[in-house]
Chains A and B, each alone.
Chain A
Amino acid sequence: MENRWIAYLIPPFIVTLLLVAGSQFVFIQNSFYQDLGLGRTGTDLTLVNYLKFFTDSFYLKTFWITIKVSAIAALLTLFLGFPIAYVVARMKSKLAMFLLAGIVVSTFVTIVIKVFGLIIIFSADGVINKTLLNLGLIERAYSIIGTQEGVVVGLMHFTIGFSVLLLYSVVVTVPPSLEYAAQIHGASRLRVYQRVIIPLCAPGFVVGGLMIFNMCMGAFTSAALLGGGRVLTLPVLVQRTVMMEVKYSTAASIAFVLLVSVILINLFSLIAIRRLRSARLVVA
């Protein structure tokens, strides 16, 4: 019996391995050739592209901005995503499914369309600017294109649907009976949050937060459109280096740095899952 099922596995595995290894190998190898510009590369293997990346302040600054906006976006996404996940998970009516359907649809719609909407909302005579101007909070219309705040908002829109679904699956694992038990023993609601809900959801927050951070690090579309060429993140820089400067090996080396950082964060979150799981067993 066992061998029969392995036979099913072999053809798709070969196809997938070829696609994964083939594509990744070619660009990683390219990143180790010197970039001569205009699509031409040197013939000797060298580390020159990476030396340039880690010594040039422009690249280092881009790297730092990518980490910064991703971290802020991930934290804010968790902050906005948690109440929806909690309310929907605790809801007993049909409305819960309806609310989740709204989230699922929003994850289907391409981020370009959402950025369209954002640009209209934040345009000079859009809703937000008019309100703020009328209230006298700002002196002239504020534009989000080309600002780091704009990129953060774009990244949040890229990840929030996914993060609500993720946090929902975390909250569902905390049975409401635990909340009742705490309250029967005299805990206030605030105390229930402090001592029951938040501690039990914390592992999910940490792991989910890392996954969202990772998605933000690799997010191209929203960062490119809202950065407007003035705020660069690593994915945007990869695309610009290929399309505008036609420097394939430089782009490949930036892409590889991005890939390695994302994989390191993944490994870190795997370790975090293990640690938190075993810690939780001790508590239980």
Chain B
Amino acid sequence: MQTWTEKVILFVWCGFSYVFLLSPMVVVMGASLHGGEFSAAIKFPPDEPSFQWYSKIPTEQFEALALSLLVAAVATFIAALIAIPAALGLVRSNFKLKFAITSVFRAPLQIPAIVSGIAFLQLYYLIFDTSGLMLAGTIPGMLLGHVFIATPFLFGTIVAVLQRFDHRLEEASYSLGAGRWRTLYRVTLPTIMPGIYSGGLYAFMVSFADVPMSIFLTAPGFVTYPVELFYAMENDFDPSILASSSIVIVFCLAMLLVVQKVVGLETLLRSGGGSAR
């Protein structure tokens, strides 16, 4: 049993941590309701709340958002195509260099994103020098980088699910006359689906939020949303940025609710979304 003093201390300590953790997001959403004309007066809580800045979000920000969503979605899809067979192959087979192979798949997590960013930029320059094909500032170039940083999240969660997989399910399927492919599609994949969903969510969100990799791969008129925000902050910004940021926060919340409905939050936490990093 916890004593009352302990409960009070933990409550205050926890409350402080939560305020620290969540206050920036609450403040951004609150300040986006700024009523005045001048951005210098951005404040929390806002003086005369209004939604005016929501209708003043410039089209560049929507274009950046669209690009971010597209890149994150396609990168997650490609990452899944890489991670699913990789995880299946790795968990099911047994050979000596397993640890080394796992390290290669997890390597992008160990490399700081800024290092990967400059590495991909220099790789693209080398490709340009030898073949005249410029990948920096194009969708394929951006996708390649994002697949690189997103794959380990899917790989990690799927491996975690596969390690708890009950092999008797597959044996039952074989003994009932199903072939290899039928067993894969009807038994194995549906069982590891929660891992794919939660890993996919993490992969999507990491790609959607990324600055250090994308900042090297953007070009004028070709900017992802976080990078657009990054540059806006280095210069002067107006409250429309806060309005679009609030939309993104609500979007993140909505994504979590969807996952909660589809696989449940416990699966998300248990499949090691946190430890994947």
Contacts and interface: CB of A to CB of B under 8 A. Distances in A.
Given A105-B253, A109-B25, A165 B44 contact: no
Interface in A231-284: 235, 238-239, 242, 248, 251-252, 255-256, 258-259, 262-263, 266
Interface in A78-118: 80-81, 83-84, 86-87, 97, 99-118
A165 B44 CA distance: 29
Contact of A113 (B14, B105, B119, B249): B249
Given A120-B44, A251-B118, A259-B115, A162 B277 contact: yes
B93 A106 contact: no
B118 A109 contact: no
Mostly, the B contact residues are helix
Contacts, number: 265
A106 B114 contact: no
Contacts of A22: 123
A235 B211 CA distance: 12
Contacts of B255: 108
Interface in B150-186: 151, 180
A5 B112 contact: no
Contacts of A162: 274, 277
A106 B211 contact: no
Interface string A203-219: 00000000100010111
B59 interface: no
B275 interface: yes
A65 B148 CA distance: 29
A74 interface: no
A12 interface: yes
B122 A252 contact: yes
A237 to B, nearest CB: 10
Interface residues of A, number: 92
A12 B265 contact: no
Interface string B26-49: 111001000000000011100000
Interface residues of B, number: 94
Contact of A183 (B1, B93, B110, B272): B1
Interface stretch (A24-32, A44-52, A55-63, A134-142): A24-32
Given A115-B233, A157-B24, A255-B119, A83 B14 contact: yes
Interface string B74-91: 000000011101101110
A101 B104 CA distance: 31
A109 B248 contact: yes
A20 to B, nearest CB: 5
A166 B274 contact: yes
B241 interface: yes
Interface in B210-239: 210-212, 215-216, 225-226, 229-230, 233-234
**Which of A24, A117, A258 counts the most chain B CB atoms within 10 A?**
A117
Contacts of A125: 43
Contacts of A101: 256, 260, 265
24 contacts: A2-B92, A6-B93, A9-B86, A12-B82, A23-B122, A24-B119, A26-B126, A27-B119, A81-B17, A97-B265, A100-B269, A101-B260, A104-B265, A105-B252, A108-B205, A117-B25, A117-B26, A120-B27, A126-B43, A211-B277, A219-B112, A239-B216, A242-B216, A266-B110
The 8 A-B pairs of least Cβ separation, nearest first, read A117-B24, A218-B112, A9-B89, A165-B274, A110-B209, A8-B89, A5-B92, A12-B86
Interface of A: 2-13, 15-17, 19-20, 22-24, 26-27, 30, 80-81, 83-84, 86-87, 97, 99-121, 123, 125-127, 156-157, 160-162, 164-166, 168-169, 183, 189, 211, 215, 217-221, 224-225, 235, 238-239, 242, 248, 251-252, 255-256, 258-259, 262-263, 266
